């Protein structure tokens, strides 16, 4: 059998347990051996499940090891990595969790998974020195309204309908988890100005403002995203800079 | 981040090394253990930046480095992933490893990346494909690579070439070196019922640039025969140490890596395993010196 066909049969049988052990393989008896082929099937599944477990530790803690493993097993059966760079694998897991029937009762679970994915993306993002308040201080305040900013490569904005950031924060460390102080939707900002990934909850209006700035709006344009009387764009931009969310003035 | 210090691609010292684990880095940097080198899985460092690269920069500033790929799929009938070759070349350029190695295996197909080192038949046709892939890799990286012998759990009915001959012919045609994984020899020898020493006899040792040692796990096949799994989750077994000593007696001093990637132990345990390899290497050389001398005379 040509090389291509042999590998094709092998690969299909690996991914589909209903298929027979490839007939062109053999154990010591000279015939296909289910235990032997199962080692490869198991390696593929266990390796990919391990990648999902490593990426979503709080999601795993929330549902327990056995439930998470079953959920991850279903995900890896459906979604194989498109690249050998596994640090990018599992980015779509939150959407899968949202569709995963047995997890439907835990409505906040996909949001926590979204936050954990943003955390991993920030962790591996490119290095860049963030903009400092000192650098902003050198600019004539009369020009502030026309300023545009480039977001830091690690900065991620997240709007979720549950207190996912507070749940996530309450599950850091080995101690007893802390419940969120109030049960409400949260907007989160994930940054990594230096080595450590930082997660913070944005104040009211902060998400729309930051979203507009990151999309290339001027400071004045971004300020118009809020209809609130007392909205102070200055405090929001200072907050973003202090979080390391902005790389530079464009 | 500050500019990387200037460094040269020093060859790996003929000593013990271990796989670099994130949890060990702080202790390593604080204690500066006397170790020959660290090895990394290339794919774990293919993010753009962040703590993984910061740790690796710090380690590379103090130790020689071996770059070990696990995802290139050299043994696939399909063309190599050009983007992946570029990523490997960029890593090699940045970190200047003493050597680069990959596997005689495949891992990607239509379904995507399967995240395991999967076996291939050994025929004239597969030999030609693997050699083309190694030529392409060595060209893309601008350096000679080492190819590792696999651990396998089954054989292909269509194979017509012995694994050792297959590897020897690849080395002859492409000029690549070989990575001899002694644990893989024991695992495959047990799984297929051949003599590990005979495999060593037939192995083209003159091409070997690095040795891997690891722990295996025990299972059984359909007939209830022992089936060893290349698990990298435990200490190196006695039979592997014995074959390692014999390999060193024949090969001379060689960079030797302890692979322990799952259930990773505390740093002192892993470090002790690497020291044990160095001790075993020294003992084997001491015991073999007389024999070598007789050969010389």
List the domains of chain B with CATH numbers. Answer: 16-296 (3.20.20.150)
> Alpha-carbon distance A41 to A38, whole Å?
5
Average pLDDT for chain A: 95
**Could you tell me the CA-to-CA distances from A249 to A132, A136, A138, A207, A223 in Å, in that order?**
10, 8, 12, 19, 17
Would A121 be classed as within a structural domain?
A: no
Handedness of CA B240, B189, B76, B216 (dihedral sign): negative
The minimum CA-CA distance between A31 and chain B, rounded to whole Å, is 9
Q: Are residues A19 and A102 in the same domain?
A: yes
Examine the predicted complex and report whether its ipTM is higher than 0.90.
yes
Q: What percent of chain A has pLDDT over 70?
A: 100
Q: Which of residues 1-40 of B touch A (CB under 8 A)?
A: 1
Is the pTM for the entire model greater than 0.90?
Answer: yes
Subunit contact A35:B126, Cβ cutoff 8 A: no
- Cβ distance B222 to A85 less than 8 Å, yes or no, reads no
Mutate to test the interface with B, among A34, A39, A50, A55 (most CBs of B within 10 A): A39
Using the 3D structure, point to which of A72, A106, A140 is the last residue of a domain.
A106
Tokens standing for residue A189: 């900002």
A216 and A157 assigned to the same domain: yes
Partners of A73 on chain B (C-beta within 8 Å) are none
Q: Which residue has tokens 């390391």?
A: A244
Q: Are residues A98 and A10 in the same domain?
A: yes
pLDDT of the residue at B288: 54
What residues of B are in contact with residue A154 (Cβ under 8 Å)? Answer: 50
pLDDT in tens, A13-53: 998 889 999 999 999 999 999 999 999 999 999 999 999 99
As a whole number, mean pLDDT of residues A240-244 equals 97
What's the CA gap between B72 and B69, in Å, rounded? 7
A112 occurs within a structural domain: no
Q: Are B230 and B151 in contact (CB under 8 A)?
A: yes
Considering A106, A139, A159, which residue would you say is the last residue of a domain? A106
Same domain, A132 and A247: yes
The whole-number pLDDT of residue A1 equals 72
pLDDT single digits (tens) A168-214: 999 998 889 999 999 999 999 999 999 999 999 999 999 999 999 99
User: Is residue A229 included in any domain, yes or no?
Assistant: yes
My answer on whether A147 and A76 are in the same domain is no
Residue A20 in domain: yes
**The pLDDT of residue A134 is above 50:** yes
Residues A137 and A70 in one domain: no
pLDDT of residue B7: 60
Residue A92 sits in the same domain as residue A170: no
Which A-chain residues 189-248 have CB contacts (< 8 A) with chain B?
192, 195-196
Residue A111, domain member (yes or no): no
Residues 6 or more apart in contact with residue B277 via CB below 8 angstroms? B16, B213, B236, B244, B256, B258
For residues A135-146, average pLDDT: 93
Is B70 at the interface with chain A, CB within 8 A?
yes
Residues A149 and A88 grouped into a single domain: no
Strand duo B37-41 + B106-109: pairing = unpaired
Ranges of residues in chain B whose predicted pLDDT is under 50:
1-3, 6, 290, 292-297
Going through B28-144 in order, the beta strands assigned E by DSSP cover 37-41, 65-68, 99-103, 106-109, 112-118
Residue contact B121–A24, C-beta within 8 A: yes
d(CA B201, CA B76): 28
- Answer with the one of A71, A106, A141 that is the final residue of a domain: A106
Cβ distance of B192 and A2 shorter than 8 Å: no
How confident is the model over A118-127, as pLDDT tens digits?
A: 999 999 999 9
The count of structural domains within chain A is: 2
By the CB < 8 Å criterion, does B107 face chain A?
A: yes
Does any domain span residue A113?
Answer: no
H or E segment to which residue A207 belongs: helix A206-214
Within-domain flag for A133: yes
Query: Do residues A88 and A142 both lie within one domain?
Result: no
B227 three-class SS: strand
**Structural domain for A174, as ranges:** 126-250
Verify that A57 and A157 share a domain, yes or no. Answer: no
């Amino acid at each position: 059998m040509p090389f291509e066909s042999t590998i094709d049969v092998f690969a299909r049988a690996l991914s589909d347990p209903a298929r027979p052990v490839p007939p062109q393989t053999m154990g010591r008896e000279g015939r296909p051996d289910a235990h032997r082929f199962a080692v490869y099937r198991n390696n593929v599944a266990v390796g990919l499940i391990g990648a999902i477990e490593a990426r979503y530790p709080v999601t795993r803690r929330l549902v327990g090891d056995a439930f998470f493993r079953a959920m991850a097993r279903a995900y890896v059966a459906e979604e194989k990595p498109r690249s050998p760079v596994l640090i990018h694998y599992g980015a779509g897991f939150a959407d899968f969790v949202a569709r995963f029937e047995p997890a439907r009762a835990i409505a906040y679970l996909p949001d926590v998974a979204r936050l954990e994915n943003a955390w991993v993306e920030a962790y591996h993002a490119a290095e860049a020195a963030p903009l400092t308040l000192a650098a902003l201080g050198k600019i004539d305040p009369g020009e502030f309204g026309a300023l545009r900013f480039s977001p830091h490569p690690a900065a991620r904005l997240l709007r979720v309908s549950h207190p996912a950031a507070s749940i996530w924060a309450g599950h850091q460390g080995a101690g007893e988890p802390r419940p969120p102080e109030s049960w409400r939707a949260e907007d989160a900002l994930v940054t990594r100005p230096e080595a450590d990934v930082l997660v913070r909850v944005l104040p009211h209006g902060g998400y729309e403002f930051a979203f507009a700035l990151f999309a290339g709006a001027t400071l004045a344009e971004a300020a118009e995203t809020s209809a609130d009387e007392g909205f102070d764009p200055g405090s929001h931009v200072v907050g973003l800079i202090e979080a390391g969310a902005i790389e530079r003035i464009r | 981040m500050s500019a990387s210090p200037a460094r040269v691609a020093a060859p790996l010292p003929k000593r013990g090394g271990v796989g670099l684990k994130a949890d060990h880095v702080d202790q390593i940097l604080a204690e500066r253990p006397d170790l020959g080198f660290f090895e990394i899985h290339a794919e774990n460092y293919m993010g753009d930046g962040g703590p993984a690269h910061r740790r690796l920069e710090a380690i590379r500033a103090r130790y020689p480095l071996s770059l070990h790929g696990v995802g290139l799929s050299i043994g696939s009938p399909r063309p190599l992933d050009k983007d992946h070759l570029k990523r490997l070349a960029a890593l090699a350029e940045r970190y200047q490893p003493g050597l680069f190695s990959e596997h005689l295996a495949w891992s990607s197909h239509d379904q995507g990346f399967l995240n395991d080192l999967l076996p291939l038949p050994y025929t004239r046709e597969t030999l030609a494909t693997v050699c083309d892939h190694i030529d392409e890799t060595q060209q893309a990286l601008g350096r000679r690579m080492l190819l590792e012998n696999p651990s396998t759990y089954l054989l292909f009915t269509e194979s017509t070439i012995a694994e050792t001959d297959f590897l020897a012919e690849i080395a002859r045609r492409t000029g690549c070196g070989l990575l001899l994984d002694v644990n893989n020899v024991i695992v495959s020898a047990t799984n297929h019922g051949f003599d590990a020493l005979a495999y060593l006899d037939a192995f083209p040792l003159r091409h070997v640039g690095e040795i891997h040692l690891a722990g295996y796990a025990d299972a059984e096949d359909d007939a209830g025969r022992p089936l060893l799994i290349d698990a990298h989750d435990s200490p190196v077994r006695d039979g592997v140490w014995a074959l390692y000593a014999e390999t060193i007696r024949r090969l001379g001093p060689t960079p030797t890596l302890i692979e322990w990637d799952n259930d990773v132990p505390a740093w002192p345990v892993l470090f002790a395993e690497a020291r044990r390899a160095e001790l075993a290497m020294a003992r084997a050389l001491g015991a073999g010196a007389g024999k070598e001398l007789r050969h010389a005379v």
